[in-house]
Structure 1
Amino acid sequence: MPSLSTTSNKILIAGENLINEWIVSSNLHKLRTLIKNYLELDNVSFLFGAGSSIMLGSISIATIPMAFEEAIKNIPNHSPGSVGNEAYSEFLEIVSTLQKTSEVKRQEWMENGNKVTGNIDFPLESLLNNLTAIDFIQDNSTGLISKHYVSELIATLKEELFKTCDLETLSNNPRGMQEEDIKNLTANKFFFHEKFAKKILQRPLNLKRANIFTTNYDLAFDMAFDRLGIHYINGFSGFHKRTFKPETYDYDLFFPGSTTQGKVTRIEKVLKYYKIHGSLTWVQTEPTGNNVYGIEEWPIELVKAKREYKRLMIYPSAVKKSYTLDFPYSELFRHLASAITQPQSVLITFGYSFSDEHINDIIYQALTIPSFTLIIVDFKGTGNPEIARLSSFKDPRIIILEGDQLGTFPFFVDQVLPDFIEENIQGKVAETLKNVYDNKDRDNGKSNPPAGPPGDQNASDKPREGGTDSTESNIDLPF
């Protein structure tokens, strides 16, 4: 196991860094026990952002990548004889207007004493949001706005976004990863997403299904679930023609019951999966009686073959909440709110930058519930202004794990997430040792048997309510 640096990582609880108290000789036992206790709550939800896909070759869209600019330059002029690149000129004009500058502002940094310029310093999702608004106004208000290449710009940006999120065509980005992790990722691109799913499915069956929310468009979790044969409820119904039916989120899967006993048993490998910003495989179609929302889920190979990228249901996240959310997004946000506002709920965010105000409002509303806990896992952590603001509240229900190890997906899955089966075996060993010492002490006429196995005076043989029987050390939950 790689040693954990206590200088480049933090465990913040109520705004206080406890890593030196919690981590002894790189032993993460106390942290894993804390996470395990939360995972044994009835209402468990995860929210994944871009940080869970960076190692797979995905890139950040907090700016407009240069590759997107190059693609826009290839949009042909409407008039064959016209001079210059009209689409690119219109693109720069729109961006500078949104930036409120006379010229397009780019990222800048110094390299070997020279100033280097990079990507356009404007969020890609925000640009798509504004282009969509312009396109809508032009379609419904003749002459109010006069832009000639908006439709082509949207289609081109979505095509490039599709390429940057089509993970199976991208090379891995193993920077900062351990050699063993690189080997696993090379052998199986979705190794850590699969391992995450396996661990979450080890939760006791008497608990509610875990909810997996993601703002990512890519298919990392989709592929991992498929490879493991997991039944994931993602809001679509049908086989050859899959259409969006949000009522399916209220369904569950059971084995057929006995007609004599009237009992049913829940199927084990089931998760609820919400892609709250859309997906590479969601396509807008004409609404019909059987598809009232006009949304279909296509195989990714069909999307590539048809090349109708403008129809992709990729949600442009509004920085300012000035537009009413339409289906399916309003329905997906409603499910997020419902999931995390239940009593005794925990939301674990990973690699989410808190840049979507709709999601943030839902999380902040949940924080008004005393039994709600928010666990933030992020590489930058309090280097992000919004996460720093949450930490400044000094609320014990807000736990932040950050740093170059705790904030990386492989380390989080491997070392922080508990393995319920392994932990329970260790618990049984501890229980056996306790019984051995109990019997030995009784045979010797002694009283007061030890509280747990040698070296673990905090062990408990009392199982958590609604959870698994474990003799691990219990960490008090802050509610």
Structure 2
Amino acid sequence: MDDKEYNIVKVRDDKTPIKYLPSNETHDFELVDQEKLDWCNGKFFSKSELRTHIEPWLTSLFQSEHLSLLVGSGLTTAVQYAACGSSDNGMGVGKSFSVFSDNIAQAASNSAIRTGREKANIEDEIRVANELIAGLSILKDNSDFPEIGAKLETLSSELNDILNCFANNISAIERSIVLADPQKREAAFNKLVMFIMSFASRTGTRDRLNIFTTNYDRLIEASADVAGLRLIDRFVGALSPVFRSSRLDVDMHYNPPGIRGEPRYLEGVARFTKLHGSLDWINVGDDIRRIGLPFGAGTLKPFLEAAGLSTDYSSLMIYPNSAKDRETAEYPYVELFRDFAAALCRPNSTLVTYGYSFGDDHINRVIRDMLTIPSTHLVVIDYSDSTGRIMKKYEQWGRQSQMSLIIGNDTANIDDLVDYYLPKPSIDRASIRIADILKQRFNQPAKNEKEGEANE
């Protein structure tokens, strides 16, 4: 049996990753390579025992001085499956290039292999096509290559069509959730809200949660609306927000009743960064703007027309697109990754990944650099490691003491995570207080017990 079929957990003082499988009706799980662990009796253990091993550890890490959450496509897949009973990553476009098709396919395949993926996806092809267009643009007026101009025009037109299909596929994912059975949709969103709030429930005295995502859809924004979570990003404005490079430490405060001149941080606030762009980001003139695209819109066309772009899908800010020139290709992504590196690479920082398969070298490089700081920690939560990239990075980076793993469909599915293993999604001072009281009453010598109760 291959490692990718196992559930894997490594938290707290586990020396090596623990592999386990679902067991019989009497027990929930069964160890694979080990006979006994300190936190369970024998080879079998229950969800409750696993919870006592995982949940306190995650609760402790979630109260780190700096906390970041990196969300990949696995979160969208989990929510769509819960709401619709099926899922689609949106990478199947159904269109191809008629010019330079073999060259684009080969270059995209080579790019995918370098990142550890078995085959290329539409993102790889879009990246290569953009690079090819940039190179051909240099030769289009060269008399030595008279056919370049026509091929360049065809390639640009076909890339626009593929981007149209790609964007509509992403919007279709949102739409499938909107049109799902109301009860299933509500249950899926409740799980999503509880998942997000498990991370975002930090007191105002701590640094804000940083949420990063490689997804183009707006599931996180939708869940934040439902939860009342306020997201702070680089966009400024109401009707047509504009992306600003000059990011100041903008935050949200309130004035407590009866106290003047002492504003306090508002709870329920997180910083939000979409590393690969978004379905509703467009390039208009010299600005990157966010258009008012409804969640689950059937098509982007009328909203692009309202922005004066007609059917120019090349203006969509979907990484690595919008490459009119090198400067546009780097902006705004260079700003977003600067935020990513600044949030992670600092002492006492914890990064939690969910549904991210470590297939992006530019992201992996920042995570690897973060781990060079001894007080940082990485928690990897994933439904599966079917590609083997997660365990490969775990071995390669050599920072196992700074890494925790929760992998497998029997543990890392969003239902069990929310119900058993993630911290309670609330700022619960009562729980903290009762823990202190129990510690005082039962952990001190018997002769001081009455004295302690009298002092309470």
Q: Report the TM-score when normalising by structure 1.
A: 0.71
Match of residue 339 from structure 2: 335
Q: 2:371 aligns with which of 367, 370, 374?
A: 367
16-25 or 388-397: which moved more?
16-25
The verdict on how the C-alpha distance between 1:304 and 1:193 changes in structure 2, with shifts beyond 3 A counting, is farther
Deviations 1:394-416 (A, max 9, x none): 62101111001333233333322
Unaligned runs of 5+ in 2: 20-30, 32-36, 82-86, 111-117, 305-310
Distance in 2 separating the partners of 1:121 and 1:173: 32
The 3-state SS of whatever aligns with 2:375 is: coil
Show CA shifts across 1:14-72 (max 9, x none): 771246635642120221111111111110001111111113165346xx62xx22x45
- Cα distance in 1 for partners of 2:132, 2:273 equals 28
| Structure 2 CA distance for partners of 1:349 and 1:50, relative to 1, 3 Å | same
Stretches of structure 1 that go unaligned for 5 or more consecutive residues are: 1-6, 73-87, 102-119, 175-181, 288-293, 450-479
Q: What is the CA distance between 1:420 and its match in structure 2?
A: 5.6
For residues 250 and 439 of structure 1, the distance between their equivalents in structure 2, rounded to whole angstroms, comes to: 45
Matches of 1:48 and 1:351 in 2, distance apart? 6
Aligned to 1:170: 176
Task: Report the CA distance shift for 1:410/1:141 in structure 2 as closer, same or farther (over 3 A).
Answer: farther
User: Could you tell me how far apart the structure 2 residues matched to 1:183 and 1:415 are?
Assistant: 25
Deviation at 1:257, TM superposition (A): 7.2
Q: Which residue in the other structure is 2:107 paired with?
A: 98
CA distance in 2, matches of 1:240, 1:208: 29
Compute the RMSD of aligned alpha carbons: 3.7
1:411 to 411, 416, 434: 416
Written as runs of structure 1 = structure 2, the 5 A alignment for 1:291-370 is 294-301=287-294, 303-305=300-302, 306=304, 307-316=311-320, 326-370=330-374
Assess, with a 3 A threshold, how the Cα gap between structure 1 residues 257 and 281 changes in structure 2: closer, same or farther: same
**Alpha-carbon distance between aligned partners in 2 of 1:327 and 1:336, rounded to the nearest angstrom:** 15
2:132 partner letter: I
Task: Provide the C-alpha distance between the structure 2 equivalents of 1:249 and 1:405, rounded to a whole number of angstroms.
Answer: 42
Which residue of the partner structure matches residue 49 of structure 1?
72
Within 2, Cα distance between the matches of 1:158 and 1:281?
13
Stretch moving more, 369-378 or 259-268:
259-268
Counterpart for residue 47 of structure 2: 26
8 Å contact from structure 2 (residues 177, 185) kept in 1: no
Shift of 1:194: 1.5
2:404 aligns with: 399
User: Aligned match of 2:98 in 61, 85, 89?
Assistant: 89
Query: 1:390 and 2:394 equivalent?
Result: yes
Matches within 5 A, 1:39-188: 39-55=62-78, 56=80, 59-60=88-89, 65=92, 68-69=93-94, 71-72=95-96, 88-90=97-99, 92-98=101-107, 121-142=119-140, 143=142, 145=148, 146-166=151-171, 167-170=173-176, 185-188=184-187
Secondary structure of the structure 2 residue equivalent to 1:396:
helix
Residue number in structure 2 paired with 1:275 = 274
3-state SS of 1:239 partner: coil
Contact 2:72 2:356 in 1 (8 A): yes
Taking the aligned partners of 2:54 and 2:432, their CA distance within structure 1 comes to 17
SS of residue paired to 2:393 = helix
Distance 2:247 2:108 in 1: 41
Partner of 2:10, secondary structure, is strand
User: Within the alignment, does 1:191 sit opposite 2:190 as a pair?
Assistant: yes
Are the equivalent residues in 2 in contact too, given 1:284–1:311 (CA < 8 A)?
yes
CA distance in 2, matches of 1:184, 1:100: 42
Give the C-alpha shift of residue 448 in structure 1.
12
Q: Is the 8 A contact 2:109 2:120 kept in 1?
A: no
Counterpart contact for 2:320–2:329, Cα < 8 Å: no
1:362 CA displacement: 0.9
Letter in 2 for 1:25: S
What corresponds to 2:9 in structure 1?
A: 11
Query: Is the Cα contact below 8 Å between 1:249 and 1:272 reproduced in 2?
Result: no
The change in CA–CA distance for 1:395 and 1:201 in structure 2 (over 3 A counts) is closer
Q: CA deviation at 1:8?
A: 3.6
Q: Matched residue of 1:90: which SS?
A: coil
Where 1:196 maps in the other structure, the secondary structure is: helix
Pair 1:39–1:31, CA change in 2 (3 A): same
Q: Which has more helix, going by share of residues?
A: 2
Per-residue deviation, 1:100: 7.5
The 1-side partners of 2:127 and 2:293 are apart by 24
Query: What does 1:230-269 align with in structure 2 at a 5 Å threshold?
Result: 230-248=229-247, 250-256=249-255, 261-269=260-268
SS at match of 1:334: helix
- The answer to whether the 8 A contact 1:51-1:408 is kept is no
User: CA offset at residue 298 of structure 1?
Assistant: 0.4
Q: 2:108 and 2:314 mapped to 1: Cα distance?
A: 24
Cα distance in 1, alignment partners of residues 426 and 437 from structure 2: 17
Aligned residues: 387
Give the fraction of aligned pairs with identical amino acids, expressed as a percent.
Answer: 23
Give the C-alpha shift of residue 185 in structure 1: 4.0
Q: Which amino acid aligns with 2:17?
A: N
Which residue is 1:226 aligned to?
225
